[in-house]
Structure 1
Amino acid sequence: MPDLHETPVDLLVIGGGVNGCGIARDAAGRGLSVTLGEMGDLASATSSASTKLIHGGLRYLEHYEFRLVRESLTEREVLLAAAPHIIRPLRFVLPHHSGLRPAWVLRLGLFLYDHIGGRRTLPPTRVLDLRRGAEGAPLKAAYRRGFAYSDAWTDDARMVVLAALDAAERGARILTRTRLVSARREGAVWRATLEHADGGQETVTARAIVNAAGPWVEQVVRLLGVNKPARSVKLVKGSHIVLPRLYEGEHAYTLQGGDGRVVFAIPYEGRYTLVGTTDVPVEGEPGPVEATGEEIAYLCRTLGDYFTREVTPDQVAWSYAGLRPLHEDGHENASAVTRDYVLDLDAPQGSAPALSVYGGKITTFRRLAEHAMELLKPALGFRPGPWTRTAPLPGGDLSAGFAAFRDRMAAHYSWLAEPTLTRLCRAYGSRLDRVLGEAASWAEMGEDFGAGLTVREVAYLKRIEWARTPEDVLWRRTKIGLHMTPDQRSAFTSVFASMGEDGRTDRRMTGRDGLEA
């Protein structure tokens, strides 16, 4: 690998989650030279294990986090405009549970929610009679009234990849499967050693380091050898389950638990309902986590408190879990720990700075990146100011909106069947033509591995979006794995390693543009 010892970059970012990629994007767009190192895949930890909401956090109002809610609601509008292909409005039904929060408290909270964040495009809250209408149909008779309010949903892992792609197209170097193994200050620069998956190492010289390692932020702080930080991280595991669709309609439900938690039930991938999340404190070093039987049973019980349909753990089609690196604020109750972010700058006079990111949520990643650049500006001395507020993410430049774009693509690619057409439009937006290339028929997409995942799309993901394993493709760049049979997933895994970035393998394919073996 190249040794960049003599070619310093302005910024070395450690961590390829939403915050790291957001900071790399912002910095590259201001003309800074950027290298980002991620020890796994982009969004392979916390950022692909969220509830996938772009929201203000209605329940945060109970903890008086008005600044966080206001900023989040403002960002909700910004992100809806920036990525209408992967972010879409979603109406939430909040049934009133007579034994929990009083109705007037919910009404007051929703009034604030509607007004403190500059809501412009989404419809306001309204009161519901759950005895009438589709919203109350799947619920138990005890729930007679409720509220409908607005938020938004996103494909979290794709948002991260698109931020990284935007950064790369603006000059950033994105290195996945690349671990920081050592770093030391040498006056006004850092000397950092990065190790790649093949064991090869390279030295990167950087004027500043951003530690956006998420759950591993404290491990990186120790590795950097900076002064004892004033901040610490609290790891909280959030688990989710995916069930066969529980109800008709495109609305979601916000369900209040008797323990003070909130559980969401959200339409997911057409045929399913996504349910989550839990809040379980985790002690010790971060690592892989999974939903436990106890957590799955808890989510099923919460659903059972509201829905007439019986829900049992054996119905779960898929589950996932992630560690949320929350900023430690002294709360013992994991549900009450702040979701706000804190940026800790270590910048001794005359030495290269290190900025560590604690906490945060996916909704605020763009604004967090702006704050990070404000803190780094005195040391790096760049002149360009904020720019991301009005800039679309790749594929998001749909001036007439998503529906009009999808209709136009349906006419242009009339050979693409539903639901593949809509899925591809959602995933790639205005860049759909880059995925399809010169294909003029379904046969020219190459082999269909199942559920509409073809050679041509996989080749694009390998070539452009850093997909290096079957899991990258099936569960992060897409959610096709959920729609495949076990045999189809196994067959895809077998062929993936031998597939080049042009789609060629030693298996016989059909198509053109390098897709025919």
Structure 2
Amino acid sequence: MSYLLNVYNAHFKKTLTKDDIVWTYSGVRPLCDDESDSPQAVTRDYTLDIHDENGQAPLLSVFGGKLTTYRKLAEHVLDKLERYYPNIGPAWTKECRLPGGDIGGDRDDYAAKLRRRYGFLSESLARHLARTYGSNSELVLGEAKTLSDLGEDFGHEFYEAELRYLVEHEWVKCAEDALWRRTKLGMWLNEEQQTRVSQWLVKQAAKAGLSLAS
């Protein structure tokens, strides 16, 4: 944090301190020990290892790697498993769009398209949905005709319809999932608003006979 603050304060007139920080996180990258002399020299590539003793079902372990190579990693995993599953088929993800990626242009154009279809959307809400969900925004909005059809507004235009989408399509189980892991709306919603998100999730889980983390 100190490093980032020093860099910022060296280039901008308004000085920031640690008291201005709303949220922090750190990433952990597992690296394979390749006997390099220093951590900086350790390979960032991944290693795949299969155990299939005595003809048992294969256990494939992935060591190392990084998020930006996830697609190639997945292809290599399937390549390794092909001898166990000969009907697995050829690789296909290189030319495939990510979920929500088929917006037919840039995000601003798609946000404008959303506003034409859903006339009640504010510009900021349309841009948020387009930026966050792409064409899956239409799954969020469904057949809504008015803003009230989106349900409760938890704050910062985060509506019940969006939260329901996150539960049904993106495996959200608790408020932290929704506000920090799927979106970063936790930076904007206050404590009371975040509590309402948590309470909504608990109520929905109870209706479904489930027990979710709050």
> Which bin holds the TM-score, normalised by the shorter protein?
0.7 to 0.9
Measured against aligned partners, the alpha-carbon deviations of 1:257-280 in whole angstroms (never above 9, x if no partner) come to xxxxxxxxxxxxxxxxxxxxxxxx
SS at match of 1:380: coil
Q: 1:374 aligned to 2:76?
A: no
Matched with 2:212 is: none
Looking at structure 1, the residues matched to 192 and 41 of structure 2 have their Cα atoms a distance apart, in angstroms, of 43
Superposed displacement of residue 383, structure 1: 4.9
Percent identity over paired residues: 37
Superposed displacement of residue 302, structure 1: 4.0
TM (norm. structure 2) is 0.85
Matched with 1:440 is: 145
Contact 1:445 1:454 in 2 (8 A): yes
Of the candidates 151, 160, 167, which is equivalent to residue 455 of structure 1? 160
Bigger share in strand: 1
SS at match of 1:498: helix
Looking at structure 1, the residues matched to 204 and 43 of structure 2 have their Cα atoms a distance apart, in angstroms, of 44
Matched with 2:90 is: 385
Matched with 1:400 is: 105
Relative to 1, partners in 2 of residues 1:447 and 1:484: Cα closer, same or farther, differing over 3 Å? same
Unpaired runs of at least 5, structure 1: 1-295, 503-517
Looking at structure 1, the residues matched to 69 and 59 of structure 2 have their Cα atoms a distance apart, in angstroms, of 21
Relative to 1, partners in 2 of residues 1:500 and 1:436: Cα closer, same or farther, differing over 3 Å? farther
Matched with 1:483 is: 188
Matched with 1:28 is: none
Q: 1:429 aligned to 2:134?
A: yes
Looking at structure 2, the residues matched to 299 and 457 of structure 1 have their Cα atoms a distance apart, in angstroms, of 33
SS at match of 2:100: coil
SS at match of 2:29: strand
Higher relative contact order (CA 8 A, sep 6+): 1
Measured against aligned partners, the alpha-carbon deviations of 1:6-54 in whole angstroms (never above 9, x if no partner) come to xxxxxxxxxxxxxxxxxxxxxxxxxxxxxxxxxxxxxxxxxxxxxxxxx
In structure 2, give the amino acid aligned to 1:321.
Answer: S
Q: 1:474 aligned to 2:166?
A: no
Relative to 1, partners in 2 of residues 1:450 and 1:334: Cα closer, same or farther, differing over 3 Å? farther
Q: For the aligned residues, what is the CA RMSD?
A: 2.5
Superposed displacement of residue 416, structure 1: 0.9
Contact 1:396 1:430 in 2 (8 A): yes
Looking at structure 2, the residues matched to 331 and 316 of structure 1 have their Cα atoms a distance apart, in angstroms, of 36
Q: How many residues align?
A: 208
Measured against aligned partners, the alpha-carbon deviations of 1:394-441 in whole angstroms (never above 9, x if no partner) come to 211223343332221122122111321111112221122211112111
Contact 1:450 1:484 in 2 (8 A): yes
TM (norm. structure 1) is 0.37
Residue pairs, 1:299-314, within 5 angstroms: 299-304=4-9, 307=12, 309-314=14-19
Bigger share in helix: 2
